[in-house]
Amino acid sequence: MEEIGNDFFRQATLRLSSSLDIEKAMFNCLSYLKNYLPSFEMLLTLFDPKFGLIHNIAMVDLEGIKKPFPIKSLSKEALGKINTDIEAWQEVKIMDRLDLHPASWILSHYVNPSKTSIMYMNLMIEGKFLGSVVFLAEGKGMFNKSHAQLVSQLREPLNIAVSNAIHYREVIKLKDMVDAENQELSRGLRHIAEDEIVGADCDLKEVMDMVRQVAPLKNPVLLLGETGVGKEVIANAIHYASNRKDGTFIKVNCGVIPESLMDSELFGHERGAFTGAISQRKGRFERADKGTIFLDEIAELPPSVQVRLLRVLQNKEIERVGGHTTINVDIRVIAATHRNLEEMVNAEQFREDLWYRLNVFPVMIPPLRHRKGDITALIHHFIERKSRELKIHTPPPLSSEVLERLKNYHWPGNVRELENLVERELIKSRSSNGNRVLKFEHFRWPKNSQEVWELPDGGNSFLTLDDAMSRHIHMALVLTEGKIYGADGAAKLLGINPNTLRSRMRKLGISFRKNRDQDYS
């Protein structure tokens, strides 16, 4: 019997240590344990006593790995039972029927609790409760004391395997975050190498002179201009021309982060700060330490976050959500918006003190219709670049007549609209035999493009940003026949999230009706 016990421990431990992926390790172990236990399924659960939640980390059966059930909230009765079990954690618990446990409803979608036996063992390491490993068997009263004695031998190997797996998952999360940041950096560097040059010595010369002036300094920078003018490209240029170029460059679109998640995304959170916060997490500001953070759509920040951002600018410090420790951060803030922040301050929609902090060095980026000299270069640039991306060996030529027409178009979507238009035309050109001249035959040219930008009163007063944005969205809706979603929708054309577009349309009082004959101008 002792020889069988030693062999059981050795073989089961080998399988538990066969992979850092806890699900694979559990499947390998269960495949061996079936020779000794009547169990058909094995689960690993973690318990959050502060919020009364149970997390299913892994679930396997004899056929393979199963999808864990989502986080569940426990009843007071179930919490009391689990707390009692934790106090007597050294015992392996057996119940003849699963429905005798007050938390059995959690598994009722997977098994019949009244016809399923359960055996479970709590796991501890260095006095810290890790969770429970659970075994299920078909039928009532299937587990006995001999099964419990065998499983109890695996307490230490399971403790170590689960502890290692939890730490391994945290490492993988951090690696994924770093990989995502590296991809962002690579994209930013590619854009700098390609996009920034176009227009730098022509209509963007004044902007690039300002970039060279402010890049070596630590001051915040505020980038202003319509949607699609290339504010992110200018932010890239400032960062990579600064002394922080070797640091992290974090980009945040404030308009697409839900308000309920904004604090956590920007400032991070401590474990247990809210439901689902099962581990500590660094926010975007903390990850941008020694580097630059680019806050696009800064006008969309809710008031509570505006207060915390002001503290970052004034004191260079943050606090994670649920934390009480002050964390110093060495970052440079570059903000961007297409809205008139001064008007928002007057309307009490944006903090005046934050406005003064951000408006130290404003950079106005002109719309494409004011950069006629750049249009030809940009068109040829996008034809070359998109041809490479689409694996078009020889970029097709462009009709000179169409080029002049494109130069005279008002480009409400600015550089982004031009880029998307070229890409769509190249995709369509791939289906034709051989190279053909790009004629943009499918582009819906406005009949009176000049009238689209004519002021309501026929005067020469300058458009407010809200008026300009409203007309910009109207034009996008005209070009897409009122379609918002999809590859050929207005949101894609404008380069924003469809939900963000709908939100702005509500603010500006723009109809959602999709109608070919709708007059959007």
Tell me, what CATH number does 472's domain have? Answer: 1.10.8.60
- 385 and 360 both lie in a single domain: no
pLDDT per residue of the chain (521 residues) written in tens, 0 to 9? 445 567 888 898 898 888 878 888 899 999 999 999 999 999 998 877 777 778 888 899 999 988 888 888 878 888 888 777 777 777 888 999 998 888 888 888 888 999 999 999 888 877 777 778 999 999 999 999 999 999 998 888 888 888 887 777 767 666 666 666 655 555 555 444 444 446 556 678 888 889 999 999 989 999 999 988 889 989 989 998 899 988 889 999 998 888 888 888 899 888 767 666 666 788 899 999 999 999 999 999 999 899 999 999 999 999 888 888 889 999 999 999 999 998 899 989 999 999 999 998 999 999 988 888 888 888 888 888 888 888 888 888 887 788 888 888 888 888 888 888 888 888 887 766 555 778 777 666 655 444 444 433 334 445 667 777 887 888 778 777 788 888 778 888 887 888 888 888 887 878 765 544 443 43
CB 266 within 8 A of CB 252: yes
CB 160 within 8 A of CB 75: no
Note whether residue 516 is domain-resident: no
- 33 and 56 both lie in a single domain: yes
Percentage helix, strand, coil for the chain under 3-state DSSP, each rounded to 5: 45, 15, 40
- 237 and 314 both lie in a single domain: yes
Residue 451 region, left (φ>0) first, then alpha (ψ -120 to 50), else beta?
alpha
d(CA 448, CA 409): 10
Q: Please give the angle made by the CA atoms of 454, 494 and 191, to the nearest 5 degrees.
A: 120
- 384 and 354 both lie in a single domain: no
What SS3 state is found at 315? helix
Tokens of 259: 């308000």
Residue 512: the pLDDT is 67
Q: 348 Cβ partners below 8 Å, 6+ apart?
A: none
The DSSP 8-state label assigned to residue 363 in this structure reads E
The values of phi and psi at residue 305, to 5°, are -75, -30
CB 361 within 8 A of CB 333: no
- State how far Cα 284 lies from the chain centre: 11
CATH number at residue 142: 3.30.450.40
Note whether residue 294 is domain-resident: yes
Q: Please give the angle made by the CA atoms of 243, 244 and 247, to the nearest 5 degrees.
A: 150
Alpha-carbon Rg for the chain in angstroms? 30
Number of domains in the chain: 3
Note whether residue 390 is domain-resident: yes
Residue 61: the pLDDT is 92
Note whether residue 172 is domain-resident: no
Tokens of 429: 């050109």
CB 284 within 8 A of CB 266: yes
d(CA 71, CA 74): 10
- 249 and 320 both lie in a single domain: yes
* Total Cβ atoms within 10 A of residue 491: 19
Q: 473 Cβ partners below 8 Å, 6+ apart?
A: 490, 494, 501, 504, 505, 508, 510
Tokens of 471: 């007309």
DSSP H/E element including 92 = strand 92-95
Q: Cα torsion for 480, 483, 486, 492, to the nearest 10°?
A: 50
- 231 and 343 both lie in a single domain: yes
Note whether residue 461 is domain-resident: yes
d(CA 132, CA 129): 9
Note whether residue 442 is domain-resident: yes
Which residue type is seen at 325?
T
Note whether residue 179 is domain-resident: no
- State how far Cα 68 lies from the chain centre: 23
- 57 and 115 both lie in a single domain: yes
* Total Cβ atoms within 10 A of residue 267: 25
Note whether residue 173 is domain-resident: no
From 273, 248, 272, 271, select the one nearest 263 (Cα to Cα): 273
Tokens of 123: 């796991």
CATH number at residue 321: 3.40.50.300
| CA distances in angstroms from 243 to 127, 247, 471, listed in the order given | 47, 9, 40
CB 188 within 8 A of CB 240: yes
- 347 and 451 both lie in a single domain: no
- Choose one of 364, 395, 420: the last residue of a domain: 364
Residue 348 region, left (φ>0) first, then alpha (ψ -120 to 50), else beta?
left
| CA distances in angstroms from 83 to 47, 50, 74, 151, 177, listed in the order given | 10, 12, 12, 21, 35
- Choose one of 334, 364, 394: the last residue of a domain: 364
Tokens of 213: 């002036």
- 297 and 391 both lie in a single domain: no
Residue with tokens 């401590």: 270
d(CA 94, CA 111): 17
CB 510 within 8 A of CB 467: no
d(CA 247, CA 263): 23
- 438 and 491 both lie in a single domain: yes
Quote the domain boundaries for residue 207. Answer: 195-364
- Choose one of 364, 395, 417: the last residue of a domain: 364
What SS3 state is found at 44? strand
- 373 and 484 both lie in a single domain: yes
d(CA 172, CA 178): 10
- 344 and 284 both lie in a single domain: yes
